[in-house]
Homo-oligomer: A and B are copies of this chain.
């Protein structure tokens, strides 16, 4: 059995590479460009020429998407073990996101040619990428349907119900603790912060929600479900 080389140790925690042999991890490790980033440093910009697959060996990064008009529309944070840049590595098209390090990060980057060779030779990785893309297509399709058929108010109510369900133990009261920032909630349901502030105030005034320190309390789950559920075009 081959020995694991120091740099390959970091690759053992990458989700995408689970199930590969030590020998294969050693090979990939040598193909990678390894880079350290400081907190706040930009890892990928929309104008970048590289089409590499980037694997987060350590640290956390923030991925921000932009509309054609340049408005920031959503962001998600990625932890060590995950990767980004699969789309551009596969199709060679420009990136649509900016990526910034939140804390100091170690990134291992694989060229498109090496990434494709890996997919071709290792079905376990290939199938994982196919399933991720499939999952992404399904979630984006749901989001398009939500955006097409639900009002902003309904989308907010659905997101609140989803968040409350995490702590909710089947009773009539749900608690979201800590309450998400309005900008975060706006990103989750694809709208503007101002609209979140307006809708939350309206729900508080109706008695459906109330604030309790850093938490948001759902006083009336049934009513929130009713607002969330009705078809706007029915």
A-to-B contact residues, CB < 8 Å: 65, 67-69, 71, 73-74, 86-87, 90-91, 93, 96, 116, 119-120, 123, 126-127, 129-131, 133-138, 140-141, 143-149, 190-192, 231, 233-234
CB-based nearest B residue for A136: B137
Residue A149 contacts which of B69, B129, B233 (CB distance < 8 angstroms)? B69
Q: Would you give 25 A-B contacts (Cβ < 8 Å), ordered by A?
A: A67-B146, A67-B148, A67-B149, A69-B149, A71-B149, A71-B233, A73-B148, A73-B149, A86-B134, A90-B131, A91-B135, A91-B138, A116-B127, A120-B123, A129-B130, A130-B133, A133-B133, A133-B137, A136-B137, A140-B140, A140-B143, A143-B144, A144-B144, A147-B190, A148-B190
Q: How far is the CA of A130 from the CA of B26 in the complex (A)?
A: 26
